[in-house]
Amino acid sequence: MLGSRTRTVQRDNEADAARSATGFFARRGWMGEASIGLGLLLLRLVAILAFVALTNFGIAQRLHLLADQQRWGTLAVFVTLWGVCLAALLIGAFQPNAGLRIGWAVIFAGSTGLGVVFRWASGSDLTVLDIISMWHVRHEAVRAADFYQHHIELFSMIFAGALVILAAAPSGLTTRASRWLGRLWWAPALPVVLIAAILFQKEGGGASGLPRQFTPLAVGAVSGMVLANNPVPQRSEVEWTPGLPRVRSIVLLVDESVRGDYIDWTPGNPYTPGLASRAASISNFGPAASGGNCSHYSNAILRFMGSRNRLGKALLTNPTIWQYAKKAGFRTVYIDAQASIISSSGKMQNFMTTSELRSIDSFQLVGDAVAPAELDNRMLDMIKAELATDEPVFIYAVKNGAHFPYDMGYPPEEVLFRPTMTEAPKDDASARIRSYRNVVRWSVDRFFARVFDELELDNTVILYTSDHGQQFRTDRLPHCTVEQPDPREALVPLFTITGHAQLKTQFDQSALSGRGHASHFAIMPAILELIGYDTREVSVIYPESLLKTNLVPLQFTSGDILGLFSNRIRWHPLDLDQDYLEQLEPDRINVRPAAAHAAW
């Protein structure tokens, strides 16, 4: 008995010692359940962060773009919102309540899968206009599902993987941490609300580069509210019957950020000497007013056939220029030289949707491996190839032009005005203007030297403008200001080039008689007439045209012109009797010897 009792006490003592040792090592993270739990916690954190990184490509590009544009306030908001989103995602993934955790995981997985797959299928992030467009073609859902079968399978894979990572039971959390996480069960909804608020404040934009775990949810919520309050009908078909076209080929060149008064037509000037030397071959309507002071709005007005009296909902119901051109027997071509380098949302930009692509015969994007200074040259090569055929063709080409940062848009050896923004000790208006002068000289003046030298223009009309202008104050945005914008933001060039003698005379006459009244609203009506539509029918809806005298006072818009977020169109005057051109001190311009200023 005594020996048995002694052995029992000894075993109890050994067990106590083992428990004590295990607790000792567990508290120090060397072994035991606590160590295993901590390891599983870290492993899951790594898995979630890897999942976020793999499904949110384009973040670095967005950060680089904001830093290059010195939009420090926007950059701070972007980084802060990313932090809020990551915190909210982790709160949802570590919910102690299994039902809540799985519910949030399903939502995050669906949002991520939709965002990634839409990007891979379309080349762009999901936008409010995309959802509105898809809503109106929902009757084609079965056919779309058949066509995008591979993408649906990809969605399923992403959804399943996300669900495994985000819905797994949490390990390694203390009781106190679990209690606080349970109290914050609602937190994953916060980023959706914040992103939706940005979408409303930016009138449908502003969410580029934000996490796909939340952004599609916010876009969907905003789109639902927009559709509920503003039902949008489908686009109309073209009702007019075209006649014979006046030319075989039409090219609309829409440049980026080129201001009209920064093209100098004085013979021998150092800024744009090539264009000045070709002035007799150009019908010059500018400076002129853009439709909007932001790229996407101006391009939408042009492609969606806007007029001063047909903005708002009409921009979403008008036949597009592609529909008009195709009915007139023209092959439709879209070439973009800027999307791959300035857009973190992919191939389609400026409110282009997948439904619009149906009317475009050839969608061409200048490759992202091309240096910024060479983008417009590559685009011109594509235009030359399209014009080499005998079939009628309408080309809408978006140039890279003078997009910020200016010093990336021209080769270093082509610096003519200095110190540039790269060279100057501080970022001020003078440095910006010198860099801007350099990029306009390279991307506009030199570009058109190639146009005249390499294109056959006898049966071709080229119409050239820019999406918006530019202002150079460092305490304001260079363009896209919604309230009280500087008129310089909408001051653009506008001219035509053709070897067709009769049309050249007509353009010259209307440019002279309507000098100071040209705008984007006169471009598309002229194109309709050129491709064969009756002038009288066109004039009923589009009273302005580059083919006739125009005396309408100049105005431009800012902000929402699609009527999605407000019925108010913001109109702003542009007075060409004023001299908007900034003046630099002569000693601040380092001009090369006169021989260097010869036309390209």
Distances (CA, A) of 458 to 247, 252, 275, 395, 462: 9, 16, 19, 16, 11
Say whether 527 sits in a helix, a strand or coil: helix
377-405: pLDDT as tens digits: 999 999 999 999 989 999 999 999 998 78
Domains of the chain: 32-229 (no CATH), 249-597 (3.40.720.10)
57: alpha, beta or left? (left if phi > 0; alpha if psi -120 to 50): beta
* Omega cis (within 30) before 270: no
471-481: pLDDT as tens digits: 988 767 788 88
**How many CB atoms neighbour CB 314 within 10 A?**
17
Tell me how far apart the alpha carbons of residues 186 and 544 are, in angstroms, rounded to a whole number: 54
pLDDT score recorded for residue 598: 42
Tell me how far apart the alpha carbons of residues 597 and 216 are, in angstroms, rounded to a whole number: 51
Cα-based torsion angle of the residue sequence 220, 225, 231, 236 in order, rounded to the nearest 10 degrees: -40
pLDDT score recorded for residue 344: 45
Tell me how far apart the alpha carbons of residues 246 and 458 are, in angstroms, rounded to a whole number: 12
Distances (CA, A) of 449 to 8, 123, 276, 438, 452: 102, 33, 11, 16, 5
pLDDT score recorded for residue 138: 59
Element (H, E) at 557: strand 555-558
Which of 352, 258, 363, 230 lies closest to 300, judged by CA? 352
pLDDT score recorded for residue 376: 95
Distances (CA, A) of 447 to 25, 72, 274, 369, 410: 73, 33, 9, 20, 12
Task: Identify any residues that bridge with 464 across adjacent strands, giving them in sequence order.
Answer: 253, 495
The pairing of strands 555-558 and 570-573 is antiparallel
Q: How far is CA 242 from the centre of its chain?
A: 33
In sequence order, what E strands does 328-401 have? 331-336, 362-365, 393-398
Answer for the pair 600, 449: CB distance below 8 angstroms, yes or no.
Answer: yes
Low-confidence ranges of the chain (pLDDT < 70): 1-34, 37, 121-124, 129-130, 132-144, 146-148, 230-232, 340-346, 475, 584-600
pLDDT score recorded for residue 20: 45
To which residue do tokens 């930009």 refer?
349
| Residues whose CB falls within 8 Å of the CB of residue 179, separated by 6 or more in sequence, listed in order | 96
Say whether 396 sits in a helix, a strand or coil: strand
Tell me how far apart the alpha carbons of residues 478 and 474 are, in angstroms, rounded to a whole number: 8
